[in-house]
Amino acid sequence: MLTLQHFLGLSALLFSIGLYGVLARRNAVVILMSIELMLNAVNINLVAFAMYLAPTQFVGQIFAIFVICIAAAEVGLALAIVLRIYRGRSSISVDDIDLMKW
């Protein structure tokens, strides 16, 4: 029997993996993927809460749809900028993006 806790556990796990990826990985594309993981953790949360806590409303689901849309747009935009950086200096490692410090 699946309970709310299962979903929350999965979502927390996904979120943590994503958080780790953002903080530890150096490849810009992998960082973006990690952010996607975090956003999807949010979506799981929202839908699960909507299902278990307020099954008569659809606020959670609607919120999740908005998040999906915006996440897609965000990645599209981010990849465009990554591409631009790559054309400029043939690297997408965030360690190499270091023209400005402090």
Which residues of this protein are in contact with other proteins, per CB under 8 A? 15, 18, 22, 28, 31-32, 35, 38-39, 41-42, 45-46, 49, 53-54, 57, 59-60, 62-63, 66-67, 70, 73-74, 77-78, 81-82, 84-85, 88-89, 94, 97, 99-102
Least Cβ distance, residue 32 to other proteins (angstroms): 7
Per-residue tokens: 13: 């796990």
Least Cβ distance, residue 46 to other proteins (angstroms): 5
CA-nearest of 38, 19, 35, 46 to 77 is 35
Cα gap 86→80, rounded to integer Å: 10
Q: Cβ atoms within 10 A of the Cβ of 40, count?
A: 18
